Amino acid sequence: MFSAETLAAFVVAAFVMVVIPGPTVLFTIGRAMALGRLGGFLSILGTALGSILLVVGVALGVGTVVAQSVVLFTIVKVLGAGYLIFLGIQAIRHRKDTAATVTGPVARRSGVRLLGEGFVVGVTNPKSIAFFLAILPQFVDLHAGSVPMQLLVLGTIVVAIGVACDAIWVLLASAAREWFGRSPRRIEAMGATGGSLMIALGAFLLVWSEKPANA
C-alpha cells in the first residue's frame, strides 16, 4: 500500500508532531504528577480511544474528499496548516494558564472517570485534528487502493507513536512530580517551545506544495 520511503517519511513526520508538547502531553503530565503512574496510564488509554475515533472520522470523511478533488485537498491542507499556526500562537499566549492547570491540585478520580476524561481530551485535541487533516492526506497515494483505508492505517500509526511517547512522559512525570511542581515556569517554557514548533510546522506546510506519495 505504501512505499518504504513514504512510510519512513511519514513515521518521522508523525514522531516530530507527536513529541511537540500539546494538550494531550500536558494533560498526561498533569495526571501522572497528581495521580502517579496508574492515573497517567489510564489517561493515555482514554486519549488513545478518543484519537482512534478521530482517525475513523477523518478516514471516512477526508478520504473521500482527497480522492475526488485536488482543489479540496489543497483547501484542507491550507486550513490545517493555518490552524496549526493559530494553535501555536495560542499555546504561547496562554502558557501561564496552562502551567497553573498542570501544577494545580487534582482530586482523586475513579479509573472509569480517568478513562472518560482522557477520551474527551483525545477526541477534542485540536493539534491531533489539525495533524490528521493537514498531514495525513499528503502521504496518500491515490493509485494505491482505498484512500480511507490508507488514512486509517496512517492514523493508527500516529496513535501508536503517541501512546509510546505519552507512556514515557508518564514515567518521567510520575518520577519527577516535585521537580515540575516547584517551578511552574518549567511548564510555561515547555508550552512556549511547543507553540513555536507548531508555528514552524504550520509555516512549512503552507510553503510545501508537493505530495510525497504522488511526486
- The DSSP code sequence of 158-195 is HHHHHHHHHHHHHHHHHH-HHHHHT-HHHHHHHHHHHH
Can you give the pLDDT of all 215 residues of the chain as single tens digits?
A: 677 777 888 888 888 888 777 767 777 776 776 667 888 899 899 989 989 988 998 888 765 665 566 676 667 667 766 776 886 787 678 767 655 655 555 556 677 888 888 888 788 777 777 778 777 877 887 777 787 888 898 999 999 999 999 999 888 877 776 666 566 677 677 667 767 766 776 777 677 554 434 43
Strands (E), 72-192: none
pTM of the predicted model as reported, rounded to 2 decimal places: 0.66
Q: What is the CA 132 to chain-centroid distance, rounded?
A: 8
